A and B are shown apart, each in its own frame.
Chain A
């Protein structure tokens, strides 16, 4: 299976720029997607196909990358962005998720 590796946690101050990384154990082309999940809620799609902003998602969120290295950027970070962020690939079967990055605001 394709393993997606994310840093477990990050802490930033409101107004700063934050990058969340996701590294794949093998190429996933650009079939990488990003989700935000808050406690007690279902995940929300932020970015699909590496760099496409889902409808209704603020333009503060952006995605980049291809192959094995991907980044989700939030600029500027707001207090409401406190959440866990997951990457997910759909290039290789079975589809897999990263372990999640917990974003905390200072």
Chain B
């Protein structure tokens, strides 16, 4: 079974960078599909942030395009999120997920809360 697990700091200072790791088991991220980051803000709004494909190409939400980078380490079967110049408005629970089936999200990590605060 495919499993995803997010990890990273739970507290980030304003203007710094947020960095998260998604570790995948049960499937090799270079075998197929796209691998996304999604966040849920306090108050329940959800935002798709972007994905990295099995081939390594990326697609980002234009609202984040100047601040976001999604990369991967194929040797560790992990992909990463970096979000630069964070503000308190980036406080959210961050999820990684697989784009499957039909560009839905059938498998999610359990989520990690990131708070942006000084």
Contact = CB atoms under 8 A, between A and B. Distances in A.
Interface of A: 1, 31, 33, 35, 41-45, 48-49, 52, 54, 84, 86, 88, 90, 93-97, 99-100
B46 interface: yes
Given A94-B61, A94-B62, A45 B48 contact: no
B46 to A, nearest CB: 4
Contacts of A94: 48, 61-63
A29 to B, nearest CB: 11
B43 to A, nearest CB: 9
Contacts, number: 57
A82 to B, nearest CB: 15
Given A31-B103, A48-B102, A42 B108 contact: yes
8 contacts: A33-B103, A33-B104, A43-B95, A45-B104, A52-B102, A97-B47, A100-B44, A100-B46
Question: On chain B, which size bracket covers the interface?
Answer: 20 to 34
Contacts of A95: 48, 103
A72 B49 CA distance: 25
A48 B106 contact: yes
B17 to A, nearest CB: 22
A49 B62 contact: no
Interface string B56-81: 00010111000000000000000000
